[in-house]
């Protein structure tokens, strides 16, 4: 009679029944790990200050999530690594010279308002780290745009402040930007290695690409969003970014500078806030690219990646809604069948 | 007629100076009908149509009656009267001419009469001295912008129905937070077009 007693355990849940090793925890911690090269590069270029800001962001994000669930008397979810990831991404989006309360306020907005109030991981409409940064940029525009020059000597405490490459490009033009770096090759080298002013994690394109390669190999992200995003930015920069008429722009500068690599591989691909259908993801990427270039070339801000991803986050449910995948074996309904 | 200016007016009033997300006007309808996609779409269509026509009507009355007679100080009252009269007559005519359309969109007409964007557009047109076509372009852009806001909001709110939102924040409070966050994203458009 053992079967009868345990019969309630025989109720079969809905599909899928095949189980893999992949869990939310595993994916989140792998993403955290894949950001490690970028973190190391940021500490190398911006000194102990970078480690301090990164640590503060991570600790406060994890702490806010833990306190929130404790306050609600629910099981804490800090173990899944998503709070850690939000803190890490928020830190990568901050300039190295911010005072201590900036990461704290950013973490509060990112974790509690953007993620937890909406129901926690899986329900947030926006990328938490990006909302945290957008909130900070609008509330503290001065503090959030002081970019210190990278020193690579581990003594960046009183570093010189300077403008980011995109800032120079916007204010003074391409010739001035090349002059600052000496030559075009030096400029590309600076953008690739990260020896430029900017947010902590966005400067070194190579370190970010190494991390992105890990995610591709683990198949945690697909090519749809990053490729369509970066290709759109490249084409638009080539077509409209030059000052000698159409198709004279330099796509590489726009692709490598700013937060594009970080945004396209690590933030636009967030499972929760992007469309789930493949075709929708391509539309999402193209939209991100178009808005990014619109803001970079015509807008009031030098950098548009953050706002572009946030705006497309708004549209993600709409994209999902309008592109429903075809059901297997489904036949298009005709007028006669409806009657 | 300057088509670039008209196009810029439509884009700027729809996206950059979106009434809902940058000036926080029209929130009662915005939160009231954005619960379901179907009502949001119906409202957007009706709203845009009413907006364009009432902008044009108010411009005619303002330029040919109020300015010559020095009655511009009465513009708030007169514009409310024009919109209310137009909406009421549209309501009655639609009921008679096309009952099926009336049953689809008629419910929204009554709500629109007292909306603050509907009165803001003629007032702004008068204040900025837009000509006839510019007034209509501004009305069209504002209507489209409001429709866009409604449809985005409805698509997200339908998704939020299943979310595990803490009890005190269920329903309207979380929608207010959501509107604030969308407005934060829309600040990215600021400075794009300066008219």
Probe site for chain B from A125, A288, A322 (most B CB atoms < 10 A): A125
Percent with pLDDT over 70 in chain A = 88
**CB burial readout A251-273, b (16+ within 10 A) else e:** bbbbbbbbbbbbbbbbbbbbebb
- Give the pLDDT confidence score for residue A154 in this predicted structure: 47
Residues forming a β-bridge with B133: none
DSSP characters over A12-78: PPSSP----S--HHHHHHHHHHHTHHHHHHHHHHH-HHHHHHHHHHHHHHHHHHHHHHHHTT----G
Interface contacts (A, B; CB < 8 Å): 83
Average pLDDT over residues B4-23: 90
The mean pLDDT of chain A is 85
> What are the chain A neighbours of B164 within 8 Å (beta carbons)?
119-120, 123
Domains of chain A: 24-322 (1.10.3430)
- Contact (Cβ atoms closer than 8 angstroms) between residue B19 and residue B142: yes
Tens of pLDDT along B79-118?
A: 999 999 998 888 888 888 888 888 877 778 878 887 888 8
The angle subtended at Cα A93 by Cα A90 and Cα A99, nearest 5°, is 80
Taking CA–CA distances from B168, the nearest residue in chain A reads A117
Residue A189, C-beta contacts closer than 8 angstroms, at least 6 positions apart: A195
| A159, pLDDT greater than 80 | no
Judging contacts by C-beta atoms under 8 Å, the chain A residues touching residue B163 are 118-119, 123
Q: What pLDDT does A3 receive? A: 46
Overall size of chain B counted in residues: 195
Place B55 in a pLDDT band, splitting at 50, 70 and 90.
Answer: very high
pLDDT of residue B174: 93
Distance between CA atoms of A165 and A147, rounded to whole angstroms?
Answer: 11
* Percent of chain B scoring above 90 in pLDDT: 41
| Residue A53, C-beta contacts closer than 8 angstroms, at least 6 positions apart | A91, A94, A96, A98, A103, A200
Q: For position B195, what pLDDT does the model report? A: 63
Global pTM reads: 0.88
- The domain limits of chain B are 3-189
Q: Cβ contact (<8 Å) for B181 and A299?
A: no
pLDDT digits (tens, 9 = 90+) for B64-74: 999 999 988 99
Q: Which of B8, B44, B157, B184 to mutate to test the interface with A (most CBs of A within 10 A)?
A: B184
Checking if the pLDDT of A132 tops 80, the result is yes
- What distance in Å separates residue B193's CA from the closest CA in chain A? 8
Q: What is the dihedral of CA A308, B12, A300, A115, to 10 degrees?
A: -40
Question: For chain B, what percent of residues have pLDDT higher than 70?
Answer: 98
Stretch 38-97 of chain A: residues touching chain B, C-beta under 8 Å: 72
In tens, the pLDDT along A185-238 reads 888 888 888 888 888 888 788 999 999 999 999 888 999 999 999 999 999 999
Q: Is the ipTM of this complex over 0.95?
A: no
Would the CB atoms of B152 and A314 count as touching at under 8 Å?
Answer: yes
**Whole-angstrom distance, CA of residue B120 vs CA of residue B141:** 13
Provide the chain A residues 135-154 that lie in CB contact (below 8 A) with chain B: 135, 138
pLDDT confidence bin for A152, thresholds 50/70/90: low
């Amino acid at each position: 009679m053992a079967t009868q007693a345990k019969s309630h355990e025989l109720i079969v849940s809905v599909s899928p029944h095949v189980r893999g090793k992949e869990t939310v925890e595993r994916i989140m911690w792998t993403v955290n790990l894949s950001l490690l090269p970028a973190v190391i590069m940021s500490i190398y270029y911006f000194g102990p200050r970078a480690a301090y800001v990164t640590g503060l962001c991570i600790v406060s994000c994890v702490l806010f999530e833990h306190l929130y669930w404790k306050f609600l008397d629910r099981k804490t979810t800090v173990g899944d690594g998503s709070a850690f990831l939000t803190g890490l991404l928020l830190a990568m989006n901050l300039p190295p010279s911010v005072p201590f309360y900036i990461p704290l306020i950013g973490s509060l907005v990112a974790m509690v308002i953007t993620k937890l109030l909406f129901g926690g991981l899986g329900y947030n409409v926006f990328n938490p780290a990006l909302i945290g940064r957008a909130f900070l940029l609008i509330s503290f525009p001065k503090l959030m745009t002081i970019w210190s020059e990278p020193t690579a000597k581990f003594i960046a405490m009183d570093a010189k402040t300077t403008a980011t490459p995109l800032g120079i490009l916007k204010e003074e033009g391409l010739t001035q930007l090349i002059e600052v770096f000496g030559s075009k090759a030096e400029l590309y080298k600076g953008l690739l290695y990260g020896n430029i002013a900017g947010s902590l994690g966005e400067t070194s394109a190579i370190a970010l690409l190494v991390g992105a390669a890990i995610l591709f190999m683990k198949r945690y992200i697909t090519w749809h969003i990053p490729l369509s995003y970066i290709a759109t930015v490249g084409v638009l920069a080539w077509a409209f970014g030059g000052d000698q008429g159409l198709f004279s722009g330099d796509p590489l500068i726009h692709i490598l500078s700013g937060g594009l690599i970080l945004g396209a591989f690590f933030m636009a691909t967030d499972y929760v806030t992007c469309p789930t259908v493949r075709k929708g993801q391509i539309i999402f990427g193209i939209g991100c690219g178009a808005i990014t270039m619109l803001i970079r070339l015509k807008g009031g801000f030098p950098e548009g990646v953050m706002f572009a991803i946030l705006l497309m986050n708004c549209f993600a449910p709409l994209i999902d809604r309008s592109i429903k995948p075809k059901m297997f074996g489904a036949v298009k309904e005709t007028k006669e069948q409806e009657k | 007629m300057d088509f670039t200016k008209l196009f810029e007016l439509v884009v700027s009033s729809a996206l950059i100076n979106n009434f809902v997300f940058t000036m926080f006007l029209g929130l009662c309808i915005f939160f009231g009908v954005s619960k379901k996609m179907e009502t949001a779409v119906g409202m957007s269509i009706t709203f845009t149509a009413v907006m364009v026509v009432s902008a044009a009507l108010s411009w005619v009355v303002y330029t040919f009656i109020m300015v010559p007679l020095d009655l511009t100080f009465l513009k708030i009252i007169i514009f409310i009267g024009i919109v209310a009269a137009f909406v009421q007559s549209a309501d009655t005519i639609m009921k008679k001419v096309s009952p099926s359309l009336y049953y689809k969109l008629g419910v929204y007409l009554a709500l629109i009469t007292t909306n603050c964007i509907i009165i803001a557009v003629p007032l702004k047109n008068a204040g900025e001295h837009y000509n006839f076509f510019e007034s209509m372009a501004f009305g069209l852009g504002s209507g489209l912008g409001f429709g866009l806001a409604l449809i985005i909001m409805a698509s997200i709110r339908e998704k939020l129905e299943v979310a595990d939102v803490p009890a005190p924040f269920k329903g309207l409070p979380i929608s207010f937070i959501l509107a604030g966050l969308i407005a934060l994203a829309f600040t990215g458009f600021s400075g794009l077009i300066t008219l």
